[in-house]
């Protein structure tokens, strides 16, 4: 089985991902060994100004492509970004949509909550032209506290990207539980690495793929690790199937400790 990754921080010197070129190349070598054949680099873009100054990201990306080729890495590389949520996005920027597909963009919320403007009017701003992919909802304090919000976002047109490590328990049992609940409710459309390094948050998908294969079957696994990532890169329509509402008894109540940990989480954890 081969995989496509649509969320990682493998480009060095642009965010809290790879520390240097050696780490970048080691991440790519791990990915290649794992079966990843294509990926979209998604550096954090925190502001509109940063998005307009995308050239500095593109230069590092071009250098990564050259260095990867020299190192014998054959993974096909694209660029996009992980946009920090804000009331407006400039979709004319190259980095705004994943692999310049013109339609799907990867977006993250603050880890501890969902800003009020998102519920009020956010989705109406671009619903006719662009589709947000919400990064790691299972790690967001607002969704952990009210998982039904995940269903509401999908009904408003968003897609949800769960992180492979969340299913494997890298971020603890509570995040794993939310990721499982989202999977059970058919509220996950793509699984990606969100890789930052070569030790804890790695550029690997196979272990999570095998878990999904065992628990949710081959069709689901193929869709989440291959065909949906392919459609996103191509800008093609994704069939979201029939998402289910999350019943009150499925609701996870975060402990005070969880909420505090989420609130004070450091940038490097993003
Ligand atoms: Fe990320």
Distance 251 CA to ligand 1 centre (A): 25
Q: What is the pTM (predicted TM-score) of this model?
A: 0.91
- Backbone phi, then psi, for 156, in 5-degree steps? -85, -5
> Which CATH number do you get for residue 168?
3.20.20.140
Number of independent structural domains in the chain: 1
Domain containing 164: what range? 3-238+245-269
Which residue from 23, 57, 79, 48 is spatially nearest to 202, judged by alpha carbons? 23
Tell me which residue has tokens 């993250």: 108
Distance 249 CA to ligand 1 centre (A): 30
Mind listing the pLDDT tens digit of every residue in the chain (270 residues)?
999 999 999 999 999 999 999 999 999 999 999 999 999 999 999 999 999 899 999 999 999 999 999 999 999 999 999 999 988 889 999 999 999 999 999 999 999 889 888 877 777 777 788 999 999 999 999 999 999 999 999 999 999 999 999 999 999 999 999 999 999 999 999 999 999 999 999 999 999 999 999 999 999 999 999 999 999 999 999 999 999 987 655 555 555 555 565 555 544 344
Distance 126 CA to ligand 1 centre (A): 22
Distance 2 CA to ligand 1 centre (A): 22
DSSP assignments along 145-182, one per residue:
H-THHHHHHHHTT-EEEEEHHHHHTTT-HHHHHHHHHH
| Coil/strand/helix, residue 131 | strand
Long-range contacts of 242-246 (CB under 8 A, 24+ apart): 242/186, 243/151, 243/154, 243/155, 243/185, 243/186, 243/187, 244/151, 244/184, 244/185, 244/186, 244/187, 245/148, 245/151, 245/185, 246/147, 246/148, 246/150, 246/151, 246/181, 246/185, 246/187
Residues near ligand 1 ion, CB 5 Å cutoff? 82, 194
Distance 270 CA to ligand 1 centre (A): 6
């Amino acid at each position: 089985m081969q995989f496509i990754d649509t969320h990682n921080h493998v480009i060095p010197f642009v965010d809290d991902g790879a520390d240097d070129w050696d780490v970048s190349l080691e991440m790519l070598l791990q990915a290649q060994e794992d079966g990843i054949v294509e990926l979209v680099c998604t550096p954090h873009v925190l502001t509109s100004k940063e998005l307009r100054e995308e050239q500095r990201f593109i230069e590092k990306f071009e250098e990564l492509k050259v260095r990867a080729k020299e190192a014998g890495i054959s993974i096909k590389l694209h660029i996009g970004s992980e946009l920090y949520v804000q009331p407006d996005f400039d979709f004319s920027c190259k980095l705004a949509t994943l692999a310049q597909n013109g339609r799907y963009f990867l977006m993250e919320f603050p880890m501890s909550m969902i800003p009020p403007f998102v519920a009020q009017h956010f989705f109406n701003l671009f619903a006719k032209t662009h589709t947000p992919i919400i990064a790691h909802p299972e790690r967001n304090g607002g969704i952990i506290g009210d998982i039904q919000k995940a269903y509401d976002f999908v009904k408003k047109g968003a897609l949800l990207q769960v992180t492979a490590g969340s299913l494997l328990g890298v971020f603890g049992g509570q995040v794993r539980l939310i990721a499982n609940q989202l999977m059970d409710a058919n509220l996950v459309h793509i699984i990606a690495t969100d890789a930052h390094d070569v030790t804890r948050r790695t550029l690997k998908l196979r272990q999570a793929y095998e878990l999904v294969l065992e628990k949710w079957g081959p069709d689901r696994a193929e869709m989440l690790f291959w065909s949906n990532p392919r459609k996103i890169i191509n800008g093609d329509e994704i069939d979201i199937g029939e998402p289910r509402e999350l019943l009150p008894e499925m609701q996870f109540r975060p402990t005070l400790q969880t909420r505090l940990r989420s609130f004070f989480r450091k940038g490097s954890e993003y």
